[in-house]
Amino acid sequence: MKKILITLFALMILSPVVMKGQGCMEAKSEDGVNVMGYLQPQFEYNENNGNATSNFYFQRARIGVMGTIPYDFSYYALVEFSPKIGGPYLLDFFITWHRLGPWANISVGQFKQPFGLELSTPCQKLHTINRSKFVGELASPFRDIGIMVYGGTPLFNKEHNVLDWKLAVTNGSGANVIDNNRNKTITARLVFSPLEFLHIGGSYKTGKVLPQGGDDKLTRYGADISVEKFNFLFQGEYIGGVDDGFKLDGGGCGQDPTIAPAIGELKKNGFSTMLLYKTPWNLQPVVKYEMFDPDSDADNNMKSSATFGLNYFFNEWTRLQINYIINDYAGVTKANNQIMAQLQVIF
């Protein structure tokens, strides 16, 4: 409790909009300090390979502040309090210089890495309760410490940006961790939007993850597409990667991947497709299919899931999500499906 109170006090005394940039939340006004956050209480039933479990818990419980400082500066700080993912701890904390915006903005601090479509989607705006497994495995660590330059340009179109780009140089060790080598990780993302309803993205990431002296190289690359028209939304994403000289397992939101030295290259990849429709009654059915191959050179190790969901929007701040997930993992013969329900409130 003492740790939580100290964290809250530190956030509240920050003194004085802010472009959303890589932050998950948007300011409610451009004046003074904006307090923001969201809560996600959740229920989950998991067949768990024949050993069924059920739990109530907070998936996320986040609170933070954002605001502007004269002249051309803004700040953003967000703390995660959910004990399920190790809270409380500092999630995002960065300062941004906007003098060259919107073509170029510079952020320094801890932020979400600019890689992929689903990772770039804020947690409170995800269309399914969980991100895809291949995103958690291939885009980890989600957050890192460093510097990012990002911007966009409408070119000859005044309605929307035709090009959006982000380039980050970070430690490569993850959130709240000092770098374990003198090398830096480079992550880049470019989104091309020729039409207001069509977005085509590409991402690339390279760096080293082992302690100083290790002979290793991490490579990640991805492509994605998003089409939103006539209340329909279609999204597709692919990520591929190579672990050279090491093996990275796990990761995701609030979870650190395990990294160990290894001999040779380990190639892996995954993809997802998703279709949604927003009805006139604030109901949004969701269908999603995803696949993850943790070793492209090995057989019988595919992990695939189909999610059937329903989102109900009480208002712009409150949403209920219900997901039924059918998991098909190679080598798993017992029932492994899940039922999830999550209520979300944004403030």
pLDDT tens digits, 242-252: 999 999 888 88
**Could you give the CA distance from residue 199 to residue 110 in angstroms, rounded to a whole number?**
27
Provide the pLDDT for residue 15. Answer: 33
The alpha carbons of the chain give a radius of gyration, in whole angstroms, of 20
Please give the model's pTM, rounded to 2 decimal places. Answer: 0.90
Provide the pLDDT for residue 29. Answer: 58
**Could you give the CA distance from residue 340 to residue 342 in angstroms, rounded to a whole number?**
7
Residues forming a β-bridge with 268:
241
Return the SS3 of 253. coil
pLDDT tens digits, 219-278: 999 999 999 999 999 999 999 999 999 998 888 887 788 888 999 999 999 999 999 999
Q: Which two tokens stand for residue 43?
A: 């229920």
Provide the pLDDT for residue 23. Answer: 67
C-beta of residue 320 within 8 angstroms of C-beta of residue 342: yes
Query: What phi and psi, each to the nearest 5 degrees, are found at residue 117?
Result: -80, -50
Provide the pLDDT for residue 251. Answer: 83
Q: In angstroms, how far is CA 108 from the centroid of its own chain?
A: 18
Return the SS3 of 185. strand
Q: In angstroms, how far is CA 35 from the centroid of its own chain?
A: 21
Residue 300 CB contacts under 8 Å (≥ 6 apart), including other chains? 330, 331
Q: How far is CA 272 from CA 118, 143, 224, 324, in A?
A: 10, 22, 9, 16
- pLDDT < 50 stretches in the chain: 1-2, 4-21
C-beta of residue 227 within 8 angstroms of C-beta of residue 234: yes
Provide the pLDDT for residue 322. Answer: 99
C-beta of residue 95 within 8 angstroms of C-beta of residue 110: no
Structural domains in the chain, CATH included, are: 2-346 (2.40.160.10)
DSSP state letter for 268: E
Pairing of strands 258-277, 283-293: antiparallel
pLDDT tens digits, 27-37: 565 667 899 99
Give the number of C-alpha atoms closer than 13 A to the C-alpha of residue 197, restricted to the C-beta side. Answer: 8
C-beta of residue 142 within 8 angstroms of C-beta of residue 252: yes
**Could you give the CA distance from residue 331 to residue 302 in angstroms, rounded to a whole number?**
9
Q: How far is CA 215 from CA 60, 244, 297, 335, in A?
A: 37, 8, 22, 41
